[in-house]
Amino acid sequence: MPSNPAKAGEYGERARCPATGATAEPASPLATASTASEANASDKTGSGVPGLGENHVGGNLDRVRADASGQVLTTNQGVAIADNQNSLKIGLRGPTALEDFILREKITHFDHERIPERVVHARGSAAHGYFENYQPLSQFTRAAPFAKAGKRTPVFVRFSTVAGERGSLDTARDVRGFAVKFYTEEGNWDLVGNNIPVFFIQDAMKFPDLVHAVKPEPHHGMPQAASAHDTYWDFVSLMPESTHMLLWQMSDRAIPRSYRTMQGFGVHTFRLINDQGESVFCKFHWTPVAGTHSLAWDEAVKIGGADPDFHRRDLWEAIEAGAYPEWELGLQLFSEEQAESFDFDVLDATKIVPEELVPVVPVGKLVLDRNPDNFFAETEQVAFCTAHIIPGIDFSNDPLLQGRIHSYVDTQISRLGGPNFHEIPINAPLAPVHNNQRDGMHRQTIARGRVAYEPNSLGGGCPFQAGARGFTSFAQPIAEDKVRGKPEKFADHYSQATLFWRSQSPAEQRHIVNGFCFELTRVQVPAIRQRVVSLLVNVADELALAVADGLGIAVPPPAPKASERDFPVPAPSPALSLTSYPGDGSIKAKRVAILVADGADAAGVVSLYGALLAGGAVPRLLGLRLGPVAAEGRALEVEATVSALPSVLFDAVAVPDGADAAQTLANAGTVLEFLRDQYRHCKPILVVGAAGALLDKAGIPLTLPDGAADPALVQVAAMDQGVAALIDALGRPRDHARETDPP
Ligand code: HDE
């Protein structure tokens, strides 16, 4: 069928069926119809929610969705293509004719199918979903998503790393972007946040410097997706305001287990404004329902090789499996007077507002329940802009935020090829768009009439101003000198770094020290290492000492402070430790390796497999080779080998009973290494009956280093005694008590 029904009458019978080709007869498009559409449908069944042609975003994507099922191949002009194998030649062995418009169109389009990647946050993954509001917040804001209890607003959310290029690995040590586009009926609101609540710098003026320092060094283009190099540490060591952020970046926050298990933060102080024009300050927090979980550094490095798409795959597969990722949105609301009373400046993005000062109030939840149909059209072309705000929300004067308001719109103009990127379907608001902006590259809208100015009489004065219904900036009185400089409290570079350090568990502190040691060991210039440690002296003596020790240097004198003033360090804040977010105990979408070989206890495997599936986990049978293994009268099918899907790709491992199987597995170095990595990375291990011998062979201690029982090491005589304990351990955060180096 012609793809454009409005033009159907213009096509004759001959256009329907391509001419028989010289080498192969094209299958009848009608004959392929059912198969093709089934293939397409099954592709999406896991998403649970809308199939092709349905869309949460209220239909603005439907208009442009294409489905080739049952359709004939055409050019971009809709001309049916008879032969997609051969170019047009002058004689079978002769040159190709310049007139071959079909070849030229195909190659030309291909030649131009890449767009520039994002200058930062190039590597990312995204999903559709919704935000559901708990209670009306009209006392504080007139923003549409918060208007009613139970109100759902469609969203598109993109997670990203910052430094790596588009094809770089997911598990680099890096900040993660957490950008949410709310398609509200009052226009699009983009909350473009990160998974860390503070930032490296205080003023937008320094952003290009920061990014140039962290990106691959310009002379040789190395390293990729890594901050462990001289230019980065040179810059931050000369920018003491980055110290607080450095502690977060060296912590486990920078190596999340998945996008589903990390927090998100708006970072800056924003304003909420109600119908009366009254304003409160606001900080935005996203807290994952599944809890905050991170990787071990050794694991992150190994995953980089085993599956560079680890986070992308996790997000995609969880949504396909119906284990929809969820976060709760919390707000910290405070008045201007409260802000004045704080020891820090709320306009300084290197500072948090401790939850002990202003509690986080839960106001709604975010659910991601549908994968994009097309990575390029949606995930790549989505344009988040901090300038996209709606009535009821406003900026604060945070100088970092002020610079962002310009940057995001600006960067899309070159990345997406002009000023009409708002018309790209994924960016188009649900709210109607009417203004007098016209033309430009790639304009889609056909604006009717001769009036493109305001005021006008020829167009009846339309489109007209909305007055009080429209966006109104908060009328903040300002009487100040125009200056370049910073407010006094911005000079406090260390008190919150110390607060963060003191709020970490011993294991978290160990990891921070290891993070600094790893990164600074990669730094070649000793003076840079020295300078970083001199910053840490101002944070905590024991931190500076441990890092200096790891680098084999003496602790240097503290870096000079920017202010003589003594900024108090608040009491430790539990909310700053990842241990405060254990999650809901769910095992949904967690991956469990079941190691099998000939002679494995089939009944045990089947019961474990079933219990894991019932809890929403993803069990995989792993062995030394693919195919069936004989297991007490029945065949178990090995789905992958331990070398193809190594230990780091699983959240837990189980080895069922069976003397022969245990013997075979114990003789394989890859299996022992698999178990050691599970142990080293503090993941649950279940061994049943004869499989217990593998622990000894792998050198895995049965108790924790302090002699206590290891709750994540389940050794039982029969499978039915161990399933519940494994599932329980799988639902809990990893217990780092096991961590020994080397194990
Ligand atoms: Fe960004 N940032 N940023 N940033 N940022 C971009 O916009 C910028 C900052 C963040 O998934 C760029 O579309 C400046 C803080 C995310 O598409 C660019 C400054 C936070 C994303 C840009 C900052 C962020 C970006 C590059 C300092 C956390 C990815 C491509 C003044 C609150 C969004 C693009 C996505 C992307 C500029 C600092 C988060 C160049 C100038 C602070 C999550 O416009």
What digits encode the pLDDT tens for the residues 545-562? 999 999 999 999 999 999
- Give the pLDDT confidence score for residue 739 in this predicted structure: 85
- Give the pLDDT confidence score for residue 706 in this predicted structure: 87
pLDDT at 38 > cutoff 50: no
- Give the pLDDT confidence score for residue 61 in this predicted structure: 77
Question: Distance, CA 453 to ligand 1 centroid (Å)?
Answer: 33
- Give the pLDDT confidence score for residue 605 in this predicted structure: 96
Contact (Cβ atoms closer than 8 angstroms) between residue 372 and residue 126: yes
The closest of 494, 473, 504, 678 to 591, measured between CA atoms, is 678
Helix (H, G, I), strand (E, B) or coil at 251: coil
407 in ligand 1 pocket by Cβ < 6 Å?
A: yes
Contact (Cβ atoms closer than 8 angstroms) between residue 125 and residue 171: no
Question: Which ligand 1 atom sits closest to the C-alpha of 178?
Answer: 43
Burial 124-157, CB ≥16 within 10 A → b, else e: bbbbbbbbbbbeebeebbbbbbbbeeebebbbbb
118 in ligand 1 pocket by Cβ < 6 Å?
A: yes
CA distances in angstroms from 119 to 7, 215, 352, 411, listed in the order given: 42, 10, 26, 8
Q: What percent of the chain has pLDDT over 90?
A: 89
pTM of the complete model: 0.92
Helix (H, G, I), strand (E, B) or coil at 288: strand
User: Torsions phi, psi of 686, nearest 5?
Assistant: -115, 125
211 in ligand 1 pocket by Cβ < 6 Å?
A: no
Place of tokens 């709604």: 364
Question: Which ligand 1 atom sits closest to the C-alpha of 121?
Answer: 29
* Ligand 1 probe mutation, 157, 192, 400, most atoms within 8 A of CB: 192
Q: Where are the alpha helices (DSSP H) in 101-229?
A: 101-111, 207-214
- Give the pLDDT confidence score for residue 740 in this predicted structure: 67
What digits encode the pLDDT tens for the residues 604-624? 999 999 999 999 999 999 999
Which pLDDT band holds residue 44 (cuts at 50, 70, 90)? Answer: very low
Which pLDDT band holds residue 631 (cuts at 50, 70, 90)? Answer: confident
Question: Which ligand 1 atom sits closest to the C-alpha of 118?
Answer: 30
Which pLDDT band holds residue 45 (cuts at 50, 70, 90)? Answer: very low
Active site residue 194: yes
Which pLDDT band holds residue 34 (cuts at 50, 70, 90)? Answer: very low
* Ligand 1 probe mutation, 120, 180, 348, most atoms within 8 A of CB: 120
Pick the residue whose CA is nearest to atom 3 on ligand 1.
404
C-beta atoms surrounding 590 within 10 Å:
27
Contact (Cβ atoms closer than 8 angstroms) between residue 271 and residue 390: no
Question: Distance, CA 186 to ligand 1 centroid (Å)?
Answer: 24
User: Helices 297-306 & 669-680, crossing angle to 10 degrees?
Assistant: 140
DSSP string, 315-340: HHHHHHTT---EEEEEEEEE-HHHHH
pLDDT-wise least confident of 17-26, 90-99, 201-210, 641-650: 17-26
Pick the residue whose CA is nearest to atom 29 on ligand 1.
121
CA distances in angstroms from 403 to 136, 352, 507, listed in the order given: 32, 19, 37
The closest of 213, 229, 162 to 520, measured between CA atoms, is 229
325 contact partners, CB below 8 Å, separation of at least 6: 127, 259, 260, 288, 290, 315, 318, 319, 367, 368
Pick the residue whose CA is nearest to atom 28 on ligand 1.
193
Which pLDDT band holds residue 209 (cuts at 50, 70, 90)? Answer: very high
| Tokens found for residue 362 | 């839960």
For residue 541, how far is the Cα from the chain centroid? Answer: 34
Q: Which CATH number fits domain 124-215+255-423: 3.30.70.2860, 3.40.720.10, 2.60.40.10, 2.40.180.10?
A: 2.40.180.10
Which pLDDT band holds residue 634 (cuts at 50, 70, 90)? Answer: confident
The closest of 219, 237, 200 to 120, measured between CA atoms, is 200
Pick the residue whose CA is nearest to atom 14 on ligand 1.
404
The closest of 370, 397, 430, 414 to 181, measured between CA atoms, is 430
401 in ligand 1 pocket by Cβ < 6 Å?
A: no
The closest of 665, 620, 656 to 638, measured between CA atoms, is 620
Which pLDDT band holds residue 488 (cuts at 50, 70, 90)? Answer: very high
C-alpha 108/C-alpha 376 separation (Å) is 18
Strand duo 591-595 + 652-655: pairing: parallel
User: What is the enclosing helix (H) or strand (E) of 362?
Assistant: strand 361-370
Question: Distance, CA 251 to ligand 1 centroid (Å)?
Answer: 21
Which pLDDT band holds residue 741 (cuts at 50, 70, 90)? Answer: low
User: Helices 602-614 & 719-731, crossing angle to 10 degrees?
Assistant: 30
Active site residue 736: no
- CATH H-level, domain 591-738: superfamily: Class I glutamine amidotransferase (GATase) domain (3.40.50.880)
- Mean pLDDT for all residues in the chain: 92
> How is the chain split into domains, by residue range?
5-82, 124-215+255-423, 591-738
User: What is the enclosing helix (H) or strand (E) of 673?
Assistant: helix 669-680
C-alpha 534/C-alpha 544 separation (Å) is 8
pLDDT at 734 > cutoff 50: yes
164 contact partners, CB below 8 Å, separation of at least 6: 122, 123, 172, 174, 224, 225
C-alpha 193/C-alpha 215 separation (Å) is 20
What digits encode the pLDDT tens for the residues 460-477? 999 999 999 999 999 999
Question: Distance, CA 498 to ligand 1 centroid (Å)?
Answer: 27
What digits encode the pLDDT tens for the residues 235-244? 999 999 999 9
C-alpha 646/C-alpha 662 separation (Å) is 18
Place of tokens 């909420």: 272
Cis amide leading into 526 (omega within 30): no
267 in ligand 1 pocket by Cβ < 6 Å?
A: yes
User: Torsions phi, psi of 279, nearest 5?
Assistant: -125, 145
- Give the pLDDT confidence score for residue 263 in this predicted structure: 98
What digits encode the pLDDT tens for the residues 61-90? 777 888 999 999 999 999 999 999 999 999
C-alpha 348/C-alpha 269 separation (Å) is 9
User: Torsions phi, psi of 265, nearest 5?
Assistant: -145, 140
402 in ligand 1 pocket by Cβ < 6 Å?
A: no
C-alpha 622/C-alpha 651 separation (Å) is 14
Question: Distance, CA 375 to ligand 1 centroid (Å)?
Answer: 20
399 contact partners, CB below 8 Å, separation of at least 6: 202, 203, 204, 205, 347
Burial 617-636, CB ≥16 within 10 A → b, else e: bbbbbbbbeeeebebbeeeb
